[in-house]
Homo-oligomer: A and B are copies of this chain.
Amino acid sequence: MKSSKTIIKGGRFLIPGTDEPVLSGYMTIEDDLITYIGKEEPLAEDGVLVVDGSRLLFMPGLVNTHGHAAMSLLRGYGDDLALQVWLQEKMWPMEEKFTGEDVYWGTSLSVLEMLKGGTTTFLDMYDHMDRVAEVVELSGIRSVLMRGVIGLCPEEVQNHKLAEAISFARNWHGKADGRITTMISPHAPYTCPPDFFVKFVQAAHDLDLPMHTHMSETKREVEQNVVDYGMRPVAHLEKLGMFTRPSIVAHGVHLTDEEIEILARHDVGVSHNPGSNLKLASGVARVTDLLKAGVKVSLGTDGAASNNNLDMFEEMRLTALIHKGVSGDPTAVPAPEALRIATEYGAKSIFLNDVGRLAVGMKADFIAIDIDQPHLLPHTDLLSHAVYSASAKDVEHVWVNGKQVVKHGQCVTLDEEAIRRKAQESFDGLLKR
């Protein structure tokens, strides 16, 4: 492969957690890596692509650590309902009908939305994962993929699903120029009986892969866990051995001090899904306490059916806002921390240690937002603007793994027109079937 080199000239760069969080200067990308960032202008030899960085704010691509991309087909199909009604009367009957083709177009719709909105990495837990991986290959996005398994079924079906999850994880790990990694993912402690759950733990050990599951999203589910197994979900998962693997749990809304301590001790990440947790009335996660305890907190959109968009800027802002309002402390989750949660901590939470920051040696996954717009002026503090004022639609350019995938707001790797049409057709088809 011929090597490529790009220089961003005269831009502003967000580097939260450093002495100069808004750096004015230059950044060089060679192949898939950031090889320079600083104030000195690098030499632009022949064949180097120079990008004018004025009017633009560069930041790490956003990392979405929990979701079900294909569920975008059910966006707006059932809102403002009690959780059980929503699941049993709306989501499950429709999801049962999903074919691989539906998953392909639903995932395409979501990946298109995510890329255009500045998300460069997403975690996806769903079914028909080969079709999801196809979309990832084609689109140029980075992802962590896993077959999510619900084990409320006969043993034979359980074993079939488990085998599917294992074979998917083995086949796709490291594929698409390394943009795809995989995990092992029993859906939740309340949908996978203990003896089945431990088979996933064993598989994760065998394949040397991390694990992901839903945990403590609702109060009811925590109470039921105590009834069924005599302990709360964190102790339950610890007992089943999940935390002997590198792990990330989604939601973690209802946690005791003791549970937070256990998660911190095992370095288990928590994917905070503020939009979904509010919309489904699950509650408000103890994010400031998790951070204080040293737990890796990251952000997930969850599926679009419970969000109802995949705008990670919105999740980042919700995180910076809600925990202030609920705690009464206006200094809770300050802007630089919210940004790191949405980027750097996100990448670390899904075990991508070379993603999530603008720094030499990191993967060139970054985005540029147009800062010469009324709602992003005056230029007082651009980091604050990125967190408190911007939205997905301010994203002008997106690079993943060193390749530009969104240019002037248009995705250059996917056929947007076809995806829009096919996604609508898929939904119409689901309604009819």
A interface residues, Cβ below 8 angstroms from B: 72-77, 79-83, 86, 109-110, 112-113, 116-117, 219, 275, 277-284, 304, 307-311, 314, 318, 320-322, 324-332, 334-335, 372-375, 377-382, 384-385, 388-389, 391-394, 416, 419-420, 423-424, 426-428
Contacts and interface: CB of A to CB of B under 8 A. Distances in A.
A310 B377 CA distance: 12
A391 B389 contact: no
Contacts of A117: 375
Contacts of A420: 372-374, 377
Contacts of A379: 424, 427
Given A75-B389, A334-B80, A384-B79, A322 B324 contact: no
A83 B330 contact: yes
- By Cβ-Cβ distance, the 10 closest A-B pairs, closest first, are A278-B325, A378-B427, A80-B334, A308-B388, A393-B393, A281-B330, A76-B384, A76-B380, A278-B321, A113-B374
Contact of A328 (B75, B281, B385): B281
B325 A378 contact: no
Contact of A375 (B309, B373, B384): B309
Given A113-B374, A374-B416, 7 more contacts: A82-B331, A116-B374, A281-B332, A304-B389, A308-B384, A309-B375, A311-B391
29 contacts: A74-B380, A75-B377, A75-B378, A75-B385, A76-B385, A76-B389, A77-B380, A79-B384, A79-B388, A80-B331, A81-B330, A82-B331, A110-B374, A278-B322, A279-B324, A279-B388, A280-B324, A281-B327, A281-B328, A281-B329, A281-B330, A282-B325, A283-B328, A304-B375, A311-B375, A314-B314, A374-B416, A375-B392, A393-B394
A117 B394 CA distance: 13
